[in-house]
Structure formats: structure tokens, C-alpha cells
Structure 1
Amino acid sequence: MRALADFVMRGRLQATFAVVIAAALPLLFWVSAAAGSLVVLRRGLHDALGIVAWALLPTLLWWHFGEPRPLLVLFGTLVLALVLRASVSWTRVLLASVLLGVLYGVIIDAVFGETVKRNAAELLELMPQMLGEAYQQMSADEKARVGNLLTPVLTGLMAALLQLLSLLSLLLGRYWQALLYNPGGFAREFRAVRLPAPIAVVLLVGIFLLPGLGIELAMLTPLCSVPLAFAGVALLHGLVAQQRLGRFWLVGLYVSLLLFMQLVYPLLVVLAVVDSLFDFRGRAARDGASGPTDGEG
């Protein structure tokens, strides 16, 4: 990875080559977005525009063949990189990612709305098998509400996936930047990510309360959960580093996230909200500073 980052930063020609080739190759569009974000973070938008403009050619071609992710993730990652470069604040980046997710949702609904509706209809037919007796015990109104919620929720899930890919691409670009110019800086920066309590509460409202105000607002549930889950992962990284625990714990986290997504993901969201209120890392640092020396420090 360091070799690729070094190649990208060697010059405009090398950066353009890396961004365009990665965008053209199947399933490597996130590398192109990360490389573009690295250029934005290090050199600014003016230098990055001439490089990223060439990447539009393969991403637009992918869009023509029905694959919107390369173009959307490239655009989203660059927007988030600009926010990070201007603010040096992951909190603002995470908030901007929610707005970006809403934009993704609007684009998905406008361009691929009919496909999403067909998928929702197919999923609705499978509901009796998936939910079993619980679905049979629902009233007609409840079943109708579930059917109405499927389309915006599916749209929100697709948008949240693009939102997450944009954040991860930016994360990789920031990691490359630190690797080249500030070794160790990325780890410290990521471990310190913590959402202020008012922001965490607003995101929680977006997850649970806003969908009750309108069916279309159900799209916000997955979008608002992404920043909280991101902050939850940062919290665990920070605690592992503070307590000097082995990497085994982080490996276990990501394996559990892959295998038990439905259980671990909500837990990360809850941890992030509680941490925004009680600041676990700050408390651990204060306890560590006063406790272990027994007054002999």
C-alpha cells in the first residue's frame, strides 16, 4: 500500500495513471477514490481536478453499463476529502457523510427507482417465509406499513453502502497521507474520533423518530447509523490502544462484524452514543494517570 501511495504522489502523470486504471478495473473503484482523496488532502482541489477529471471517463462508462458505484463513490470521497482538508475534523466529515448519503438516496431513487421497487416487491413476497408466525400475526395495516417501508429502507441501505464506501476510501487516503508524511498520525487521529453528545442524539433521532413522521424518511435510518458505527469502531480502537491490549481484540471485532453484522453493528451504534455522553477514553486516561503509580509517579 505504501508503494502505491508513493507512486501516486510521485507526480501528476503517475497519479492520473493510478486513478484512471483503478477506476477502470472491476471492483477497484475504491482504490481510485482513495488515491484521488490523497491528492486532494495533500495538494488541494486545484491540483486534483486535472487528475480526477480523467477518472470520470471510466466511471461514466461504468454508469452507462448500469454500475453507478464508481462515479458516486469517487465524487463522494472527494467531497469528504475537501471537508476534512478544510476542517481537519472527522466529526464534520461524518456529518457531511449523512448529507452525502441523502444525495445518494435521491440519485438512486431518481435513476434506479423502478429497480428498487421491483426488489422491494420481491422481498415483500418472501416476508411470510422470513418472519414466519410473526408476520402472520400482523394486522392488515401493519403488513401494509411494512410493504410501504421496504422501498425507502432499501434505498437507504443502498445509499448507506455508498456512504460507507466513501468514508472507507477517505480513510485509506488519509492513512496513505500519514504513512508518507506523518507516520503514526493517522492512528492517533482515528482513535480520538468521538461525536459530541448533541450530534449523537440528533443522529439517534434520525434513526428512530424521523421515520415515524413519514414513510420516505425511513431512508434516514441506515444513513444516520453510519457515523455512529464509525465512531463506535474508533472508540474500540482507542480503548485497545490505551489499555495496551493485543491486536487480537481488533481482529475479533472485525471478524465478529463480518459474521454477526446484525448483532455487532447495532452494538457499535449504542457504544458510540454512550461514549458521546460519558467519554470512556477520557475517563480511562484520567484513571490511568492517577491510579497505577500509587502516588510514586
Structure 2
Amino acid sequence: MRALADFIMRGRAQAIFVVVGAAMVPMLFWLSAAAASLILMRRGLNDALGIIVWALLPAIGWWWFGEPRTLLVLAGTLSLALVLRVRVSWTRVLLASVPLGLMYAVVLSTLFSAPIEAMVAELQKLMPQMLEGIYQQMSAEEQASLHSLMMPVLTGLMAALLQIVTLLCLLLGRYWQAALYNPGGFASEFRAVRLPPVLALALMAVMLLGPSLGAPMAMLAPLCSVPLVFAGVALMHGLVAKGRLGRFWLVGLYVTLVLFMQFIYPLLVVLAIVDSLFDFRGRPSRNNGAGPANGEKS
């Protein structure tokens, strides 16, 4: 992957070839977004704009044919990359991903309401079987309330998935930037990610109370879990780097994320919240020379 990053940064023609070519292939839209974020973070918006415009052309074309992911993820990744370049703070990036995810949800609910409503209708038919015993004991009002929340929650879950993909694209772009210009910078930067207690508790409150506060807040609840999950993953990497956990814990983490996401996902949320209060990694260690991942002095 480092060779690909080196090719992207070799010149304008090579960068355009990668970001446009990847955007034209449906399953490689993430590569286009990661490459574009690398260019923006390293060269700045003014220098990268000419390349980004070319990447937008196939993304807009896919939108026209009913595939919004390419344009949404590309635009979202670039916006978060700009935040990271200006602020050099993953906490701000994770926080900015929440309103970005909300924008995703609004777009999905506005332009793709019919397919989502069809999915909700099928889920409503399966609800008595999925909640066998519990569903039958619910009153008619409780069942109606549950059904009314399904549309915003499902939309929020779909938007949260795009939010996660966007953050992963940015992580890949940042990793490339560090690999080219400051080896080791990305690792130290990501391992230090820790949400402030007030922010972590606020995100948890929206997650827990959102569904009971109406449809808009129910849509927001899944989006607020994403920063906490990324902070939880960063905590695990940080503990392994400090020698407090063995490397097999990371292997187990990613294996269980793939196989048992419904169990490990909430566990990461809880770990991030507890770490924000007690700081398991302790005080930040002294600079080991890696510095910021952008390879420039801050």
C-alpha cells in the first residue's frame, strides 16, 4: 500500500489516474476517497482542488445512476481531512463525523425513502418472530411506538455505516501520509486518541435517551456511537503499545468485530466511556521523535 501512496504523490497525472480510476469502479470508491484525502492533507486545499474536481465527475455520475456512496464518502472524507489538517486533532475529527453522519441520514431519508420504507415494512412483518414473547406482551401503543422508530433508526444505522467507511478512508489516507513523510507518526497519533469525559458522556446520553425523545434523536443515536467505537479501538492499540496487553488481543478484537460485531461493538463503546473517565493509558508519554503524522512541525 505504501507503493500506491508513493505513486499517488509522484505527480498530478498519477494522482488523477488513481482518484478517478478508483471512483469509476463501484467497489473501489473508498480508495478514491483515501487517495484524495492524502493529497489534501499533504498539499492543502488549493493545490488539491484541481485533482479533487476530476474525482467528483465519476462520483456525480454514480449519483445520477442511483449510487450515492461514492460522492457521499468522497465529500465526507475530504471534509474530515480538512478538519484534521487544520486542527491536527482526531477528537475534533470524530466529533465532526457526527454532524456529517446526520447529513448522510438526511440525504438517505430524502432521496431513498422508498427503498428504506420497503425494508422497514419487511422488518415489521418479522418483528413478532424476532421479539417472540416480548412483542406479544407489548400494548398496541408500545407496538406503534416501536414501529414509528424503525424508519429513523434504520436510516441512522445506514448513515452510521457510511460514517464508519468515511473515517476508515481518512485513517488510510493519514496512514499513507505518515508512511511517506513521517514513519511511525500515525501509530503514535492514533494510539493517543481519547475522548474528553464531557464529550463521551454526552454521546452516551444521546445513544441511550435518543430513541425516547422522538424520531430525529433516534436517528442521531447510532451516529453518536461511532466516535466512541473508534476511541475504543484506539484504546486497545494504545494498551498493546504500552505492553499492558499482548498483541493477540488486537487479533482477537478484529476477528470478533467481523464475526460478532453485535457483541464487541457495544463493548468498545463502554471501554471508550470508562477510559475517558479514568485514562487507562495514563499520562501521555514523551515525544519519541515521530511527531505529527503529517511530517511537519506543528
Question: Is the Cα contact below 8 Å between 2:204 and 2:224 reproduced in 1?
Answer: yes
Q: Which runs of 5+ in 2 are unaligned?
A: 286-298
Q: Name the structure 1 match of 2:165.
A: 165
Deviation, 1:112, is 0.6
Q: Where do 4+ consecutive residues of structure 1 move more than 4 Å?
A: none
Question: Is the Cα contact below 8 Å between 1:207 and 1:221 reproduced in 2?
Answer: yes
Q: Name the structure 1 match of 2:53.
A: 53
Aligned to 1:195, the other structure's residue is in SS state coil
Q: Name the structure 1 match of 2:223.
A: 223
Question: Is the Cα contact below 8 Å between 2:23 and 2:70 reproduced in 1?
Answer: yes
* 27-36 or 247-256, larger mean C-alpha shift: 247-256
Question: Is the Cα contact below 8 Å between 2:257 and 2:264 reproduced in 1?
Answer: yes
Q: Which runs of 5+ in 1 are unaligned?
A: 286-297
AA paired with 1:174? Answer: R
- Do structure 1's residue 192 and structure 2's residue 192 form an aligned pair? yes
- Give the CA RMSD over aligned residues: 1.5
Question: Is the Cα contact below 8 Å between 2:40 and 2:78 reproduced in 1?
Answer: yes
* 69-78 or 212-221, larger mean C-alpha shift: 212-221
Q: Name the structure 2 match of 1:133.
A: 133
Q: Name the structure 2 match of 1:92.
A: 92
Q: For 1:66-105, what aligned pairs fall within 5 Å after superposition?
A: 66-105=66-105
The number of aligned residues is 286
CA distance in 2, matches of 1:13, 1:46: 17
Higher relative contact order (CA 8 A, sep 6+): 2
* 202-211 or 104-113, larger mean C-alpha shift: 202-211
Deviation, 1:210, is 3.0
Aligned to 1:135, the other structure's residue is in SS state helix
Q: Name the structure 1 match of 2:31.
A: 31
Question: Is the Cα contact below 8 Å between 1:102 and 1:159 reproduced in 2?
Answer: yes
Aligned to 1:27, the other structure's residue is in SS state helix
Question: Is the Cα contact below 8 Å between 2:84 and 2:93 reproduced in 1?
Answer: yes
Question: Is the Cα contact below 8 Å between 2:210 and 2:218 reproduced in 1?
Answer: yes
Deviation, 1:91, is 0.4
Question: Is the Cα contact below 8 Å between 1:19 and 1:32 reproduced in 2?
Answer: yes
Question: Is the Cα contact below 8 Å between 2:149 and 2:211 reproduced in 1?
Answer: no
Q: For 1:1-297, what aligned pairs fall within 5 Å after superposition?
A: 1-243=1-243, 245-282=245-282
Deviations 1:195-253 (A, max 9, x none): 00011011111111233221221011110000000000000010011016543221110
AA paired with 1:25? Answer: V
Deviation, 1:139, is 1.2
- Percent identity of the aligned residues? 69
For residues 284 and 180 of structure 1, do their structure 2 counterparts lie closer, same or farther at Cα, with a shift above 3 Å needed? Answer: closer
Question: Is the Cα contact below 8 Å between 1:242 and 1:284 reproduced in 2?
Answer: no
Deviations 1:71-98 (A, max 9, x none): 0000000000000000000000001000
CA distance in 2, matches of 1:244, 1:265: 22
